Amino acid sequence: MSAWAAGVVLPQAEQITEQLALAAERAPFEVVWGHQGDAVRIEVRQKDASEYTNAAEYTKAPTVPVEEWGVTFSGRLRTQWAKLALPGSAARAADDWAREESRGSFWLGFLADASDLLAGTLDPDMVPAIVAQIVVPRLSAWCAVYTSDAGLGPLRPSYLWHADEARIDSLREELATIEVPPPQRPQTVPLTIGDYHVLAVPLLARGRGLGVMLLGRTDRFPDDIIQFAEDIGRRAALAMDNARLYAQQAAANRALQRSLLPPDNPEVPDIDYGVIYEPAGETNEVGGDFYDLYRAGENGTWRFAIGDVCGTGPEAASVTGLARTTLRLLAREGHKIAHVLVRLNEAILEEGERARFLTLLHGEITPTESGMEARLISAGHPEALRLRQTGEVEVVATPQSLLGVFSEVTFEEDIVQLNHGDVLLAVTDGVTERRSGGRLLDDDGGLAKLLAECVGLSAQAVAERIRRGVQDFAPEPSADDLAILVLRAP
Is 60 exceeded by the pLDDT of residue 3? no
Name the most confidently modeled range: 51-60, 72-81, 154-163, 177-186: 154-163
Q: Is residue 424 part of a domain?
A: yes
pLDDT for 415 equals: 94
Give how far Cα 85 sits from Cα of 9, 10, 17, Å: 9, 11, 15
pTM of the predicted model over 0.95: no
Least confident of 136-140, 428-432, 482-486: 136-140
Q: In this structure, what CATH number is given to the domain that contains residue 287?
A: 3.60.40.10
pLDDT for the residue numbered 58:
52
* For residue 248, pLDDT beyond 80: no
Averaging pLDDT over each range in 10-24, 187-201, 339-353, which range is the top one? 339-353
> Which range (87-96, 132-141, 369-378) has the least confidence?
87-96
Q: Tell me the pLDDT tens digit for each residue of 144-157.
A: 998 886 556 678 88
Q: Is residue 138 situated within a structural domain? A: yes
Would residue 404 be called left, alpha or beta, if left means φ above 0 and alpha means ψ between -120 and 50 degrees?
A: left
Residue 2: what pLDDT? 56
pLDDT value of residue 254: 67
Looking at 85, 110, 142, the residue that finishes a domain is 85
Q: Which of 85, 111, 137 is the last residue of a domain?
A: 85
N-to-C CA span, the chain: 66
Same structural domain for residues 144 and 228?
Answer: yes
Confidence of residue 183 (pLDDT cuts 50, 70, 90): low
SS3 label, residue 404: coil
- Shared-domain flag, residues 274 and 239: no
Q: Are residues 44 and 135 in the same domain?
A: no
Is there a single domain that holds both residue 385 and residue 293? yes
Do 462 and 486 meet the contact criterion of CB atoms below 8 Å apart? Answer: yes
Residues 326 and 335: beta-carbon distance below 8 Å: no
* 169 in any annotated domain: yes
Distance CA(157)–CA(86), nearest Å, equals 31
Which of these, 42, 47, 34, 32, lies nearest to 78 by C-alpha position?
Answer: 47
What is the bridge-based pairing of β-strands 482-488 and 393-395? Answer: unpaired
Residue 2 lies in a domain: no
- Buried-exposed string 219-243: b where 16+ CB fall within 10 A, e elsewhere: eebeeebbebbbebbbbbbbbbbbb
Task: Kindly list the distances between the CA atom of residue 21 and the CA atoms of 67, 80, 313, in Å, as whole numbers in the listed order.
Answer: 19, 9, 61
Beta carbons within 8 Å of 263's beta carbon, 6+ residues apart: none
For residue 133, pLDDT beyond 90? no
- Residues 128 and 160 reside in one and the same domain: yes
pLDDT in tens, 92-115: 545 544 554 444 455 566 566 666
**339 assigned to some structural domain:** yes
Same domain, 320 and 414: yes
Q: How many angstroms separate the CA atoms of 213 and 232, rounded?
A: 10
In-domain check, residue 1: no
The angle that helices 106-119 and 223-259 make with each other, rounded to 10 degrees, is: 20
Predicted local distance difference test score (pLDDT) of residue 287: 62
Least confident of 101-105, 376-380, 445-449: 101-105
How much is the average pLDDT of 446-468?
93
| pLDDT computed for residue 63 by the predictor | 84
pLDDT at 138 over 50: yes
Q: Give the model confidence (pLDDT) of 276-330 as tens digits.
A: 988 775 544 556 788 899 888 767 789 999 998 887 666 777 788 888 889 988 9
Is 154 inside a domain boundary?
A: yes
Average model confidence (pLDDT) for the chain? Answer: 80
* Cα dihedral sign, 214-218-223-229: negative
Please tell me whether residues 113 and 235 are part of one structural domain.
yes
Query: Does 130 lie in the same domain as 65?
Result: no
In this prediction, residue 186 carries a pLDDT of 46
Predicted confidence (pLDDT) per residue in 8-25, tens digit? 788 888 888 888 888 776
**In total, how many domains does the chain have?**
3
Would you say residue 17 lies in a domain? yes
- Answer yes or no: is pLDDT of 398 > 80: yes
Quick one: pLDDT at residue 103?
Answer: 43
Considering 204-213, 256-265, 459-468, the range whose residues carry the highest mean pLDDT is: 459-468
Integer Cα distance of 392 and 451 in angstroms: 9
Same domain membership, residue 133 and residue 37:
no
Q: Give the residue, 68 or 370, on which the prediction is more confident.
A: 370
Question: Which has more confidence, 66 or 36?
Answer: 66
Q: What percent of the chain stands above pLDDT 70?
A: 79
Q: What is the distance of C-alpha 160 from the center of its chain?
A: 24
Q: Which CATH number fits the domain that encloses residue 155?
A: 3.30.450.40
Confidence (pLDDT) at 55: 47
Say yes or no: 213 and 359 in one domain. Answer: no
- As a whole number of angstroms, the distance between CA 166 and CA 133 comes to 16
85, 108, 124 - which closes a domain? 85
Claim to verify: residue 314 and residue 460 sit in the same structural domain:
yes
User: What range does the domain containing 422 cover?
Assistant: 262-488
User: Are 194 and 306 within one domain?
Assistant: no
